[in-house]
Amino acid sequence: MGFVGLGLTVLLAAVVALCSAGSDAPRGVAVGFVFDPKARCEPACEHGGICIRNNTCFCSKGYEGETCQYANCNPKCKNGGMCLRPGKCRCRPGFGGRYCHKVTCDGGCWNGGECIPVNGVAKCICPSSWTGSKCQEAICPQGCGNGGVCVAPGICSCPLGWLGGACHTAVCTQSCLNGGKCISPDKCRCRPPFSGPRCEERKKSN
């Protein structure tokens, strides 16, 4: 005979049998045709299941399987979660809630990002101007040059000495003279025949 796990139907039959057997009936499993007090179940019934016939376990509520080895969760665990014990799911990373029905992104999604399962993994889907695992990094489409940092969509924070939307404009605290051009912080490129830090000197021609 195969190894069989019995469920609710047998429970009802057993309870009826117990009640009608009278007060001097042995307690527990030794009732009528359903329970065999000498029954052996090998391997043993798990999770409080009772061996009622040879190799037949009667499982307690919330368990099933030949030896009552499986917990069953109702509703079932979602998103690949595992039923640990009745009503208790162990969720895969990224999922939460009693039945693993909620997706949770570790640390949350910032700046309007949305946590969505992608191939079974929780991911932040970011609005177009943000990126990064939590949508924490702004995107500056123009780029931030010369060591500038993108601090908000399209906005660079420029290091000292640089200005402009992409930090490409050098700042010369004293302006370059005679048509000279500020090419990096406090550095002028002079037009001939001028020279000097501010292009203030005219080279003497012989």
Ligand X SMILES: *[C@@H]1O[C@H](CO)[C@@H](O)[C@H](O)[C@H]1NC(C)=O
Residues at the contact surface with ligand X, assessed by CB under 6 A: 36, 40, 54
What's the first-to-final CA gap in the chain, in angstroms? 119
Closest separation between CB of residue 92 and ligand X, Å?
A: 42
CB closer to ligand X out of 40 and 203: 40
Shortest separation between residue 54's beta carbon and ligand X, angstroms: 4
Least Å from the CB of residue 36 to ligand X: 5
Instruction: Give me the residue label for tokens 């030949």.
Output: 66
Q: Which residues contact 43 (CB under 8 A, 6 or more apart)?
A: 67
Q: Which is nearer to ligand X, 38 or 204 (CB)?
A: 38
User: Which amino acid is residue 36, in one-letter code?
Assistant: D
- Given a contact cutoff of 8 angstroms between Cβ atoms, the answer to whether 30 and 21 are in contact is no
Minimum Å distance from CB 1 to ligand X?
A: 8
Residue nearest to ligand X (CB): 54
Q: What's the CA gap between 98 and 118, in Å, rounded? A: 21
Beta carbon nearer to ligand X, 40 or 76 = 40
**39/79 Cα distance (integer angstroms):** 40
CB nearer to ligand X: pick between 54 and 175:
54
**From the CB of 24, what's the least distance to ligand X, in Å?**
24
Q: Which of 3, 70 has the CB closer to ligand X?
A: 3
DSSP lists the bridge partners of residue 157 as 149
Q: Do 92 and 83 meet the contact criterion of CB atoms below 8 Å apart?
A: no
